[in-house]
Amino acid sequence: MDFETLIPVIRRLALEAGDKIMEIYNSDDFEVKAKSDDSPVTEADEAADALISAGLVQAFPEVLLVTEEQADSHRERAETFLIVDPLDGTKEFINRRGDFTVNIAYVENGVPTRGVVYAPAKERMFYTLADGSAVEEAGPFAKDVIGTTAPIRVSDPDNAALLVVASKSHRDQATDDYIGKYAVADMKSAGSSLKFCLIATGEADIYPRVGRTMEWDTAAGHAVLQGAGGKVVRFDDHTPLTYGKDGYANPFFIAYSPTVELKEA
């Protein structure tokens, strides 16, 4: 893969998908359907998926594409592939809370090494450069011209006063029990893959996820966090979270700045 080509393409597609999503988000009403697993899907999910998929297939026809909204794409397996969640945080979108993102990532040998996370309602965009390092770009965003970018880096946290971020829509007692093992100075909730990006920028130190996620939910945020010096490990044994798993389902995991002293599950 030529990363000098990849990054501008996934950045542009994320922005174009964001425009389509916001057009629907700002409309008076939109249809919400239920998928086979009872999770919600909207016309914004489907429109963004169609746009991104067409763009990626045209630009990288030889690379396997896995997307949340195309069940047929979940049947193929590979070590290296593109993976897309066209609208991560659909519940946030439906409730007009703004914490939703467009996620596009490239996975190499089971590791997400490049990616973009765009939060159109928040007007924040994070991505990896061709060399794998992570940046945040300041808006307004032009499709074909990269604007002002700033390198992002994880915090060097105080383990006696940690900044924790947790899911806004999927918080449960198991999550709270695990967070209770740490000395927490501040606690915030965020939707979608923004949680990874908050750690990548140093706005949070640790994000434990004790709940169901899929690889398309996490790959782009994982790539950005890794590019900023962060890590994502399995919750049970603290080994690295890998991709290309059967069914593209994730185990529970922890995303964090490496100097956080992880507690056992």
Give the DSSP letter of residue 27.
S
Angle, CA 237 vertex, CA 133 and CA 213 arms, to 5°:
65
88 in a known ligand binding site? yes
Cα 184 → chain centroid: 24
- Please name which of 113, 127, 39 lies closest in space to residue 79, comparing C-alpha atoms: 113
85 in a known ligand binding site? yes
For residue 88, the SS3 value is: strand
101 in a known ligand binding site? no
For residue 35, the SS3 value is: coil
Radius of gyration for the chain, computed over Cα atoms and rounded to the nearest angstrom? 17
123 in a known ligand binding site? no
99 in a known ligand binding site? no
Alpha-carbon distances of 214 from 218, 243, 244, rounded to whole Å: 7, 10, 11
Binding residues for substrate: 68, 87-90, 217
Binding residues for Mg(2+): 68, 85, 87-88, 217
Q: Could you list the residues known to form a binding site, using ranges.
A: 68, 85, 87-90, 217
